[in-house]
Amino acid sequence: MFANAQSAPGRKTVFATLAGVALIASFLLGGLPAARAEGGIAAPTAAVGTSFNSSFNGGHPGWSIVYGPWVQGTAEFTTVGKAGFSSSITHSGTYHNFVYTAKMRRTSSAVSSSQGLILRGSSSTLTADKQWANAYYFTYSNSQLLTVVKYVNGVASNLGFAVNSAVNAGGWNTLKVVAYDDLMLFYVNGTKIFTVVDNSWQLGSVGIHMYRAVGSTGNKLRVDWAKLQVINY
């Protein structure tokens, strides 16, 4: 499906998106072609960032805290959050096309509270509740709700909304995003949930987020690992 908050895709957008789908399929099956066919998607703005694989085993090189109380454990990066706010971390790279994956587990009495991935964003400006003011968010909750939200200057637009049993409520979940130009594919535990076409943000940082509801108890987000593979073409 096309989950585009702006408008239905035009003819050129559809052709570009189909080209992107073919290239992503090629990448997932064994690597993108070294050269792209003439007339495909326009070349991206240069990104500064290399692939990474963060195990969080005693350290978190490349990562920094944006907001909230984060603690490095022996094999996890964790936060209990701050009531009424989003706690987040960011990686130092700037990325355009990539596969970004992380494994995490959330406990909380507020099963509707969200946690998940941030992509193509900037943590330099935050909203009143400490969300990144410019970014895409891919989140899930223990009520099995999944969303894709775009923030532009602090204004949120919903690009995807679904309840899906692929979410392991209260257990470990692996979230993955494949981003290629204006096409983004979103997965949880190997199940594709959303296909989004949107070109608002083409370049930015990646991160991890947890929101803690006021009055909730038992809050903790445990991030087991996070990795990103740059898609070169």
**Domains of the chain as residue ranges with CATH:** 11-34+52-230 (2.60.120.560)
- What is residue 19's three-state secondary structure? helix
Give the pLDDT score at 8. Answer: 37
Determine the pLDDT at residue 10.
43
Contacts of 137 (CB under 8 A, 6+ apart): 114, 116, 117, 118, 131, 147, 148, 149, 150, 151, 209
Give the tokens for residue 141: 């909750």
pLDDT at site 28 = 55
Tokens of 70: 């984060």
pLDDT < 70 regions, the chain? 1-47
Specify the pLDDT at position 39.
35
Contact between residue 100 and residue 69 where contact means Cβ atoms under 8 Å apart: no
Rounded to whole angstroms, the Cα distance separating 164 from 83 reads 27
| Mean of all residue pLDDT scores within the chain | 86
pLDDT number for residue 32: 43
